[in-house]
Homo-oligomer: A and B are copies of this chain.
Amino acid sequence: MAITEDLERVARMVEARLDALIEPEPGASGLARLIEAMRYAALGGGKRLRPFLLIEAARLFGVAERDALDAGVALECVHCYSLVHDDLPAMDDDKVRRGRPTTHVAFGEATAILAGDSLLTLAFDILSRPTTAADAAVRAELVSLLAQAAGADGMAGGQALDLAAEGTSLGPMEVARMQAMKTGALFQFACAAGATLGRADARAREALAAYASAFGQAFQLADDLLDAEGNAAMVGKAVAKDAGRGKATLVALLGVEAARARLAALIEDAEASLAPFGTRADTLKQTAGFIASRRT
């Protein structure tokens, strides 16, 4: 399947760019250790799905891969920061991620908090650089979009809703809202940033926003199905933990069969949203199919 090769190729580009942008500090100072922790959190794995979506969205408008890469890398920094902070003992208290000890287990809590803070800050640093987009108006818009996606109205707010929901019983609408913020907002950013880089018109933006919405929901559902059915060795992190800690998921609310049906419908929605782009959007369509079928 060609999509996995595309994903792997872009993942290598993202990894190399992160490696170059987060330069190791020589010596053994607290600063060297902070940067080591940032590298630990940002490098060494991950599907880099968010930068991939951003690059593919930008490609719809003729933007070259190399001209969308840094915006994608900034997005990946935000994703990695969120994993570091969400894994902290005060939050989800996860000890394993991508088959390795989580950042606070490897570096201690204080360094993990600062590494997350610094990755979030680095994201905005990257977006503000002329090498990310020559036009300052594009850079300022990317910053605005990412800040809204990542902050209290987006990802961080979704995590707050998720934490507060533990042990309570959310309804499907509340779970959907929480997941749209916690997980969906960064996928929305990926598509909106691609559109911004490509100076897309309102109609194209709306089509991509609809795709991102269905894609984000499908991604979360696939993730929850993996957690409910998966195998820790394949997934590379603890599984079946959501139910154990009373986490709100649609799989728990709908059951596995209904969740699988809903996942299939969301993938159809995602693909249908891309109709205005014709065959140019084939990779984005395949990406939606890919996440529905993933097993890790």
Contact = CB atoms under 8 A, between A and B. Distances in A.
Interface of A: 29-31, 33-35, 38, 81, 85, 88, 90-91, 108-111, 113-114, 116-118, 120-122, 124-125, 127-129, 135-137, 139-141, 143-144, 146-148, 150-152, 156-157, 159-165
A150 B121 contact: yes
A269 to B, nearest CB: 26
B118 A91 contact: no
A160 B156 CA distance: 23
Contacts of A122: 147, 151-152
Contact of A152 (B35, B113, B160, B162): B35
Contacts of A88: 110, 113
Chain A contact residues, majority secondary structure: helix
13 contacts: A29-B161, A34-B152, A85-B113, A88-B113, A90-B113, A111-B160, A117-B156, A120-B120, A120-B121, A121-B152, A122-B147, A125-B148, A143-B143
A116 B121 CA distance: 12
Copies in the complex: 2
B114 A159 contact: yes
Nearest to A126: B147
A69 B121 CA distance: 22
B118 A90 contact: no
A90 B117 contact: no
A104 to B, nearest CB: 8
Contacts of A148: 125
Nearest to A135: B136
Contact of A30 (B33, B111, B127, B164): B164
A253 to B, nearest CB: 18
A144 B129 contact: yes
A124 B143 contact: yes
Contacts of A120: 117, 120-121
A159 B91 CA distance: 22
B90 A109 contact: yes
A282 B156 CA distance: 42
Contact of A90 (B110, B121, B129, B146): B110
A143 B124 CA distance: 7
Given A110-B91, A110-B163, A150-B121, A31 B157 contact: yes
